[in-house]
Amino acid sequence: MYAERLLIETDAEGNPHHWPKLPPSAKVELIVLVLEEPPSLPRRQPPPCIAGKGDIFDDLITPAVPEADWDALQ
């Protein structure tokens, strides 16, 4: 067994440009290491008709019921 390093470039859809010639009638193990970070996706925005119209009416941190009523703590 021997190791051979191959660099394969892909197109915009992730398909390889050119596959290398492989040895005939052989078992080949392929390990893929991505050399670059993927481009970050743009931050999603709400539709303009609902943007900024949400309101918070209560405390989001304090539990709605006291801890004594929780069954998980018993």
- Looking up tokens 């949400």, which residue turns up? 54
pLDDT at 34 (0 to 100)? 80
**pLDDT in tens for each of the 74 residues of the chain?**
677 777 888 888 888 888 888 888 888 888 888 877 777 888 888 899 998 888 888 888 888 888 888 877 56
Read off the amino acid at residue 31. I
SS3 category, 16: strand
**Residue 62: per-residue pLDDT:** 84
Other beta carbons within 10 angstroms of residue 40's beta carbon come to: 6
d(CA 61, CA 59): 6
